[in-house]
Structure formats: C-alpha cells, structure tokens
Structure 1
Amino acid sequence: MSLESVKEHLKQWGREKDVMEFATSSATVELAAKAIGVIPARIAKTLSFRGKEDKAILVVTAGDAKIDNKKFRQTFGFKARFLSPEEVLEQTGHAIGGVCPFGLKNPLDVYLDNSMKRFETVFPACGSSNSAIELTCEEIFQYSSAKEWVDVCKGWEDNAEQENESVYLNVNS
C-alpha cells in the first residue's frame, strides 16, 4: 500500500515510473547504498520525531549525518525524541525501512537538513523497504512540500571535506 501511495503522489510530477524497486532490501542506509551503487551519504534518510501535540515531524538527512540534539532543540524548541516503529507507521503510513516524505497518511511537517545540499542528487526511499528514487535537492524539497532547510545534524562535515579532498586528488592526479 505504501509504495503505491508514493507512486500516486509522484504522479503530479510525472515521476512515478522513476521509482526503483530492488530484489534485495534497501531498508538501511548501507543496504540502500549497496543496492543503488552509491556512497551511503547520498541516501536521504527520513527520521520521524515526536513533535508538539503528538503530531510527528519528519527530518530528511544525508545518510552519514546524525541528529545533533542541541541544534535540534534550538531549531524546533523541543527535545529530539524518535517515534516508535508503530507510531511511525500510524503517522506516516510507511513502515520503518521505507519511510519517506511522500505519499504520507497524515499531513506532516517535513524539514530537509543541509547535509544533503552537498550532492547534486540524493536517494530517498519510496514507501517500501526495497525502493528508492533519485532526486535533486530542489525536487525533494518540492515533492515533500518541505517547510524549510534546517541545520540539525552533525558528523557529516568531516565526510564532506574528505569527499572534496578525494575529488581534488582524483582530478589533479
């Protein structure tokens, strides 16, 4: 059901046929990166948090980013608390491993973390544990009806520097 709701959502932009479905699981960042053939950082993971008045909020981050509790509290005004797997399914309509900001069961506030902006394209799941789609940052912002770009993650900046260094070394070798 969830994969179908995402494809239906993506029809607005004629992108439903661009959803990739894999014979293997893509339920984790590592599995998705392996299935697609990209570095884990390019996987756009959707994290579900308990927001105000028991309404969930979704934060989409790069695959190598981790939530920075201090930045999260400063940005949203409350502590970062993940939803349980049952709450995620109830709020989003997607099971853990396929959660994405598209085709949601309930209208939820979606935020995109700056950690994704270093890539031309990223790969969010599409409602199942064996699906993804390649999107630009502009597309993921538009398709998810994101409220805004935020800076609530840590741990990816060092990776970004290494990636840039690696590109520099490869180009100049």
Structure 2
Amino acid sequence: MAIEVVRDYFKEIGIEERIMEFEASSATVELAAQALNVEGARIAKTLSFKKEEGCILVVAAGDAKIDNAKFKATFGVKAKMLTPDEVIEKVGHAVGGVCPFGIPEDVAVYLDESLQRFETVFPACGSSNSAIELTCEELFSYAKGREWVDVCKGWE
C-alpha cells in the first residue's frame, strides 16, 4: 500500500505523526479541501507527465491549471499526462493519492510557484484519504524538488 511507503519515508525524517487520514475520500482537490476544511487552492496536487525517459511530477496549487505553452518552454516537451495505470507503474501511487514522497529516485519533482502564496499547503500521502500539512520549504525539501517552476495558469 503506497501510504505505508510514504509513512516509512516520513518515519526516517521524523514526521510520520503529521500524516492525517480521513474517513471520507480526499482523492480530488474538492474532496481534500472538504476533509481538511480549507480552501481548495491550498491542496497541493501532484500531476504526472510523460517524458522521453520515464516521467516527471509537477506539484501545483489546487486552483492552478497547466499552461501548455509554459510547460513546453520549461520542459521541452508537450504536457501529456500519464494514464492511471502508468501512474501506478512509474510513480508507485494510484491516482487520487499521488504525491511526491516515497517515489522512485528517477522521478523528477518540480514545484509550481502557484504554491508559494500560501504559508502551508496539503499534499496527499499516497492514498485517496490522506494528507499532510507542510510549509512550501518543507514540501520542496521532503519531495526532493529539483526546482520551482512557472508552468501553471488560472491561479493569479
């Protein structure tokens, strides 16, 4: 179960007790916002995209949408999302619980600047009913982020 992989990863860091699990699903931005009683924009959604060699993850604010032109300019490829089966195969988490923690070393993680307007954000923890509250600095560090990028629109 992917949440156990994330729990083990957070145990190494010493923050596993911060993982929140819910009775109800938090698999979408809207459901996660309801479960956490926060605005949807503060949900840090993790999006999975194809690259020639594997995939990359982009973590963005819940109200942000990928800007295809910015994505191509930044990564040199068209923004093409992985299928649900590819997400499980390449990232190790199922859609609805995808997060940048406890993932294969070869999966690069980028964080969109849409997150930086918040003091804390809420990414999933590998299951469709979990989350953790992190500062943007913690998120970048624990996700082993490559860099902050500007590949989204609609949140400004």
Aligned to 2:16: 16
Aligned to 2:2: 2
Deviation at 1:105, TM superposition (A): 4.1
Aligned to 1:42: 42
Runs of 4+ with deviation above 3 angstroms = none
SS of 1:145's equivalent? coil
In the alignment, structure 2 segments of 5+ residues that lack a partner are none
Pair member with larger Rg: 1
Q: What TM-score, normalized to structure 2? A: 0.98
Q: What TM-score, normalized to structure 1? A: 0.89
RMSD value over aligned CA atoms? 0.8
Question: Take 1:113 and 1:105, find their aligned partners in 2: how far apart are those partners?
Answer: 20
Q: What pairs up with 1:13-92 in 2 under 5 angstroms?
A: 13-53=13-53, 55-92=54-91
Return the letter of the residue paired with 1:89: I
SS of 2:45's equivalent? strand
Question: Take 1:123 and 1:8, find their aligned partners in 2: how far apart are those partners?
Answer: 19
Deviation at 1:106, TM superposition (A): 5.1
Aligned to 1:167: none
1:2–1:128 contact (8 Å) kept in structure 2: yes
SS of 1:52's equivalent? coil
Aligned to 2:106: 107
Aligned-pair identity (%) = 66
